[in-house]
Structures are given as structure tokens and as C-alpha cells.
Structure 1
């Protein structure tokens, strides 16, 4: 008799069959049909489009609730917040539809629902961006994300100020509560945009992610249109918020029912591309927004927000320069760092050795050099494979770092050969450090990828400038001869015979 397997409390919930690409495809295909129907109802009149929008909002909330309850949409807390947000939008729609059914309409209720819905959507984005072990880890790899997000937020803040906030604040007929509402929408949307861009930069692209980002873009646009009446830009803009919210809802429901939604904020499986074409195009367009807006305002002879534009341009310029400086430092780091072991490259080591020997000629400080070579490393690759060889190199590099001092320079000198430069180190201390390194590598076996332990040993040759070795070539040649003497003497030893030159 078959018995049901109990799920461990730590085992992740498995998405159920509600997550289906076919459902997402049908929802996305239905969106233009519904939009055309909405436009047709608006032309016919009798406020049929209002009742259609109300029905769609309530139906969308029901579909989202099903996806969340059955676990197909992924992490629950953000989705619960989104369901609550669109439930409030549904309440606002029902309230507005009551104007044509009962002849009653409470504008304060609809405004309150809109503000709370915006805050709940913001909370959902914050909950996703703070997921432990996901964006935080990837942001550590993508050190440019904060700068790029700041550029987008600064430009968005200028647009919000120029077209939403400033027009409202300068209208004498707009009372205090309305101004607070505008500021609330603007701040919430700016934070949402910033976190959305960060999710975009930190998450691998999936169909669900594209739908979700489309939803957030449409949602933020609809929020801007909510305050259109207050800005005096025309009632048609406020009316356009209805179909935009409908499209946003279709995108959100489509994302909820797509199987890839569970991976939207899952730990990244691919490397972050900080110089991808799409990302650079987005940043390029963002940096051009402020001057373009000023030009448009100038030729239209409208109010020119010169102080705000100047501040925005200064901030964006500073951020771009910071990004360039960080990119240069990143490229420099890649050029001097060995990709496998994380140690310095031979090129960096040679420069440090030349600089050290030149300084030694000007001062009385001694300088030491160790050449470390793995014993029988070729047999490791031949017997256990190259992944095992790579693991051995990484572990030996780690032990070398742990066994040396903070001012020492440790580098991968060749395939299985390492070099260590020790400033202000005389011959007795040099021998002691070399022996400590040899013992640290020989003490514990290296655990291979298949779990098998493998004993690893090294041979070490050393040289000191106090032997009368004035140049980097002389130091390297002496250490290399002593390294071969250590191998000839049986390996797993330090050659400290200073008579070998």
C-alpha cells in the first residue's frame, strides 16, 4: 500500500497546477479584446465601460486570490498585498459605479482607496526586494546597481516634480489635503520605480518578470493620471487611468499564472551583466530626459523648472562619473586578479616585485620571495579530472592567504605554481613562514567535488634580497633553483640552502 509522503517544514512549497503558461497566454490575448470592448462601450455611452471596468477589477481580484491560495504565484506575502491593493481598487470602482446606479458617489472614499492601494503595491515591491538570500546576494555581485537605480530615481523625481508636484503646489485652488495626496502618490511611485529597477537589474529575465514589470509601469502611469484633475492637464487624462489600470491588472494576473513567477526573485543563476546593451540604453535615455524636458518647455514658452533641472543634471552627472570610476576600478581588479583562485596575477606580482626590489636598494629593509609549487599536480588532473584540480588550486590559494600576513603579496605564478612577496622579511623569518605554509597545506586533506579527501603537498624555494640579490630577476632565479632542489630532495619540503644561487 502506498503512503503519502509528508513534506518537511523546511521543504519549499511546490507550485501547483494553477501556474500554467496556457492560462497566461489566454489572459494576455484577452487583454486587447477587452480593451477594444471597453472603448466600444465608451463610444456607445450609458456608462457601460464603468460597469465593465468594475467587473474586470473584481474578477481580477478573484483570479489573483485563487493563484495565491493555491500557491502557484510564488512567495505569498507580496501577493497578499497586491490582492488587497486591487480589492481596494475594486471598492473604488464599485463606489464610482454607484454614481450611475444609486446616484451616490463618495470621492473621499475613492481617493482613500487609491492612496492605500498605492502604498500596498509599494509594500509588495519592498517585500520582494528584501527577500533573504536573493537580491542581497546578487546586489553584492552587481556593485553598479545602486548607482544605476539612483540615476533612474533622480530623473523620475524631476519628471514628477515638473509635471505633477509643481503644477499642483502652485495652484491656489488646490487645498492642503489634495496636495498631500499628490505628494503621497509621487513619493510612493518614486520608491516603487527605484525598487522595480533594482529587481530588473538583479533578476534573470523570465516571461513572468516581463509581465510583472509591465504591470508596475502601467500602475505607476495610472497613479500619475489619478492626479491629472488636480494638475489641470485635462479630464481626458484622468479618464485614461481606467483602461490603463485594466491593462495593468491583466499583466499582473498573467504573471501570477505563469510558472516562471516563482523564479522572479529566486537566487540568480546567471552572472549579472553590468554593461548589457539594454541597460546602457536605458541609462543613456535617462540622462537625456532632463535637458530634453527643458528644451520642450522653452519652445512651448511654458514654465521652465531650471533650478530643479540643474540639480537633477548635477546629480546625474555625479552618478555617471561615480559609475565610470567604479567601472575602471572593476576592470583594474579583473586585470590583476586570477579568475580561478582570486589571487593576484603574475603581471601584478612582477610589478610589485620590481617595485619592492627598487625600494630595497634605497632603504635597509629586506625583502623575501617564496615560490610554491604543488607536488604531483598533473596526476590530480589525470586521475580525478580538471574540476578536482581546480578545487585543489582554490583550496591551496585559500590556505596561502590564511598563512601569510596582510602586507604580503600572494599570486598565482603559473599553472600550479604560486609566488609570495614578503616585504621587510629577513632570512630567518622567511624560512619560518615558508615552513608554516608547507605545514598548513599538508596538515588537512583537500575535499574534492565528489567528497573524496586528497592529500596535497607543496615544495617551496625561497630567496632574500639580503643575500646580495639586487634585482627581481636575481631573486626569482635563486628561488626557482631552490624550488627545484626541494623537488629533487623528495618534495613536501622547504629548500633553505642559501648556498644554492
Structure 2
């Protein structure tokens, strides 16, 4: 039985109620003095707020159905240890009057850090499952700047101070643990994934704790720290932010894997990276001006490492830009520009070695009807699947590219004659071996009209109902309202080889395009191979001087000459009138289907 509406509303806003009540409690906490009888009320408020954050996290774990509970479980346990440390600290100071440093509370405080850090690492890995080298490098630069500042102003003074061993180790352990927490926090912020309200609440907890911890170490170093000062308000606010994150309904979104995407490089991020890169040389200059050269080597080392990271980062950006420039954004295949560059390089090798190369053009039959009937998103799904199938059946070293629109191209090396026709046929069969499944969003797409055109076309064939059901436009609707359809997809293929069918790359493209056009004019779902140039043996059968994949064509020319009174040899890209199907069907082979 579903929960009443008032209960659902309460659950969705309980985090806000918790946060508001907690802030009011912090204001009340500040009104009580740190000495005298009323400090007991102050102590109770502090401990209740600290423990409430752990309780809120565990309550959120109970209410939410998380795919991976480990990150929040570790964070909750760390907060329990932190709350116990708070209790021990105030009991030691106010009840037992023990002010020794370090003591049991410091062990509990330091012990909560590893649990929190591991929880954040698991959360970050859950959200960002793909490799993010750019984010890792950016985070390393921010962390290096923080390490340098922490060493100069927090850690080094403690190391050089005349402390007892345990005092020195504890004083160094606090900033060291904060640096570890800062490192994973930076990785979480710079990583992929959604950023719901729970994300910002968790980030607020990290910011408050790191800020208060840093000020605490500075005050301990200067001897100005007093129990119950304004740092308590910062720590308590951080605890409230953590509890609110655990109670927020979007807590579950933080553990969901992020979809792969290209991370945006905002202007703020570039400014922050530039500032981080300037920290080391600025500190180095300040140290030299002050005449304090004790940490000169540390500043120089950090500057050198920072410079290396910047160089690696720039090299990565250059590689990303080049990859994006040669990769089609939809299909992941190479772009036409990349294909044309590779063709020119391969043609040079062919002329030097006397080998051969082939160009195969693949066009999805009746693709426009797919877009018209099912929408462009469905057409994109078809193109993506066709690209995947082409990659499956191609040889290593072949270049598969999206040539334009619904047209693909394959550049294959060291092939001539019948071998080229066999490769082209393998591509045609690989694409058309089974229907393509497309997913249509709700609402349901109306049943398509009955076919009036020719059969065997990708868009004109009736969609096949998934899971073996009757052929219908209704398809199968999922729980989310999406509809799954199976569409028969076929391709027409035209191929030509260098030097058999052309003497340069421009003529090669024209020959392959004429063959493709002849295959489409003959009924589609066919393979056509360009005609051989005089004096070139392409390794096929004798077909009156023209080879179209090993079949007798009765002397018809599909290589750019007159076919039954119709010219199919105009230049690529020009306006061409289709030849009569009965005049071309005899010159194009349709291989037997699998």
C-alpha cells in the first residue's frame, strides 16, 4: 500500500527540517558561556548535534535503496567515531579536567579520517567509472599547491618545534590527514557525475571541516586555541551538512555511475588551475625576499612537479582535440577528413610498392524513411548500430569512416580484384544479417501506413515486433513507457580499387561512387564493383571488360559509361538522374544472404 501523501512530503523535506533545527541549536549553543554551570547545556547541545549527523546518515541508508551502500556506511561509521571523540574531548576537559595533548580524543579524531577518506574514494569510483586522466591531473595540481602551503605554514613549524615525540607526531598527523581528505574531495568535485543537492551538502561538510581543522592547527601552533571558540560553530555546521546530505532524497543519486561524457572546461576552472600553478613560484619568491631559504628545495621541487603536470596536461588536451577532430561524434568512426588524408598516404605507398588499395562506400537504404517515420533519434540509433556492425566485420588496419549522412566508407589496403568484392559483400551481409533494434520514447508512435514501395528497404519494411511477436508497428513497451522495435536494415555497397579502377584518389572516389549509385539503381541491398581500366587485370572473371564481383554482366558498363542509354558516370556530387532499374539490375550482383 503506498504511503500517504503527507508522509511522502515529510520524507522529502525532513532534511530541511533537520538542517533548520540544527542551525537554531547552534545559535542557542553560542549563547551559553564556556564556564560555570550552564556549560553543561552547551556540552549536551554539542554532543547531540555531533551524534545526530551519524544518525541521519544511517537513517538515510535505511530509507534509500542504494546500489552500493559501502561509501555511506563508511562515512556514517567515521562520523560515529568523530562524535565519540567529541564526547571524550569535552569529558576530558570539562569533567575530568585533563588537558594533556595528545590524548584519547586525538586518537578518535585521527581514526575517523581513514574511514571517511575510503568512503569518499569508493563514492568517487562509483560515480566515475571511466578513466578521467584530465581530472586526475587537475586534482594533482590543486593538491600540490595545498601540500606546499601546508608544509610551509602548518607542518614545518611543528617539525622544527621543540616538542615531545608524541606531540610532534600528532601535530603533523592532523594536517597530513586533512591533505588526504582534501585530495579525495578534489577528486570528487572535479569528477563526473550528477550534482544534486546531496552533493553540495556533502561538499559543504568537507569545506567546513577542512577550514576549521586548518585554523585549529594554526591556533595550536601559535598557542591561541581556546576550547569552545568560534571553531565549534564551523565544525557543527559541517556535521549538520553531512546529516542533511544523508537525509536528502538525492542521496541515492551520489552512488549512481555517471554516463560517459566530455567534461566541460569552464572559465572558473581554468582560473583556479592558473592560480594553483602560480602558488609555487609565488611562495618561492616570498621565501627568497624574506631570506628564509630553509624550505627552498621544497618549493623548487613542487614547482618542477607542477611544470611537469602542466606539460602532461597540455599534451593530453592536444591529444583530445586531435581525437575529437578525427572522430565522428555520433558513431565513433573516423571522419571524412581523416579518411581522405589516409587515402592520400596509402596512394603514395601503392605507387611506390606496386600494391593495391580499395575504397568501399556503404549507403543505408531508404534511411530517410526511418527518420520520417520514427524520428531522428531513431535514425541516430540505426546509424550507430550500422557503424558497430561495420567495425565487427572489418580487418585490423582498415579505416572505417562516416562519409556523410547515412553513408560510410572503408579504406582497405593490399587488396585487388575479387578480394575487394568479397570484402564488400562481407560488409553488406554483416549489416543486414539481422534487424536493428531501436527504442522509441513514450508516447507510443502510431502504426506506420502499409507499404506501397519496394521491399527489402530499411525504412520501408514493417518493423518487427521484439521477442518473436507478430510483425507490427506497436513493438514492445517497457516499464518506462519506451517502445522497442526491430527494423530490417540493408545497405547498398559500391567498391573500387587503385590502380585497377582508377589512377588517383579523386578517380577512385568517383569510381566507388558510380558503383554505389549503380547498386542503388538496381534495387538496393546489392554490391557493385567498379569497372577495370584498360590493361588492368583485377583478378575477377571476364565480363566483357567490366568486373562487378565475378558475375557476367553481358558487356554492360557500370564504371562510368553508357548503360542502356543512361549515363551513370557524372562526377561525384553532381546532380544525377537514376538509370532505369531494368537496365542496371543485370550489371549489379546481389550475393546470397546468410
Tell me the TM-score normalised to structure 1 length. Answer: 0.86
- Bigger helix fraction: 1
Give 1:120's aligned residue. 115
Q: Distance in 2 between matches of 1:311 and 1:256?
A: 41
Aligned-partner Cα distance in 1 for 2:273–2:37: 42
- The aligned counterpart of 2:472 is none
In structure 2, distance between residues paired with 1:20 and 1:281: 37
1:473 aligns with 2:498: no
Q: Secondary structure, in 3 states, of the residue corresponding to 1:342?
A: coil
Task: Say which is worse superposed, 306-315 or 217-226, in terms of deviation.
Answer: 217-226
Considering only CA atoms, is the larger Rg found in Structure 1 or Structure 2? 2
Alignment partner of 1:387 is 2:369:
no
In structure 2, C-alpha distance between the alignment counterparts of 1:363 and 1:442, rounded to whole Å: 36
Q: 2:56–2:244: 8 Å Cα contact kept in structure 1?
A: no
Give 1:428 shift: 2.3
Corresponding residue to 1:207 among 197, 216, 234: 197
1:251 is the counterpart of 2:246: no
Match of 1:260 among 246, 250, 253: 250
Query: Aligned equivalents of 2:16 and 2:290: distance in 1?
Result: 44
Displacement of 1:256: 2.4
Q: State the shift of 1:272 in Å.
A: 4.9
What is the Cα deviation at residue 398 of structure 1?
Answer: 0.9
Q: How does 1:178-217 map to 2 (within 5 A)?
A: 178-201=167-190, 202-217=192-207
Shift of 1:179: 3.3
Once residues 50 and 162 of structure 1 are traced to their aligned partners in structure 2, the CA distance between those partners, rounded to angstroms, is 39
Q: Once the two structures are superposed, what CA deviation does each residue of 1:174-201 show, in whole Å capped at 9, x if it has no partner? A: 2332333344333432222122122212
SS state at 1:379 partner? helix
Residue of structure 2 equivalent to 1:494: 527
Indicate conservation of the 8 Å contact 1:226/1:238, yes or no: no
Check if 1:350 corresponds to 2:349.
no
Query: Which of 44, 69, 82 lines up with 1:89 in the alignment?
Result: 82
Give the CA deviation at 1:205: 2.4
TM-superposed CA distance for 1:49, in Å, is 6.2
1:153 equivalent to 2:153? Answer: no
Distance in 1 separating the partners of 2:11 and 2:51: 16
For residues 72 and 374 of structure 2, what CA distance do their matches in structure 1 show?
Answer: 48
Aligned residues between the structures = 481
- Unaligned ranges ≥5, structure 1: 6-14
1:396 aligns with 2:386: yes
Cα distance between partner residues in 2 of 1:328 and 1:233: 50
Q: Is the CA contact 2:494–2:530 (under 8 Å) kept in the aligned structure 1?
A: no
Q: Tell me the residue number matched to 2:58.
A: 68
Question: Which deviations, in whole Å up to 9, do the C-alpha atoms of 1:163-183 show, x marking residues without a partner?
Answer: 222212212x22332333344
- Bigger relative CO (Cα 8 Å, ≥ 6 apart): 1
Written as runs of structure 1 = structure 2, the 5 A alignment for 1:226-245 is: 226-228=216-218, 231-232=221-222, 234-235=224-225, 241-245=231-235
The Cα of 1:430 is off from its aligned counterpart by 0.9
Unaligned runs of 5+ in 2: 440-482, 532-545, 547-558, 561-594
Partner of 1:11: none
TM-score by structure 2 length? 0.73
Q: What does 1:89-488 correspond to in 2, within 5 Å?
A: 89-98=82-91, 99-104=93-98, 107=101, 108-131=103-126, 134-137=127-130, 140=131, 142-171=132-161, 173-201=162-190, 202-228=192-218, 231-232=221-222, 234-235=224-225, 241-268=231-258, 271-298=261-288, 305-449=295-439, 450-467=483-500, 469-488=502-521
Query: What is the SS of the residue equivalent to 1:205?
Result: coil
Equivalent position SS for 2:484: coil
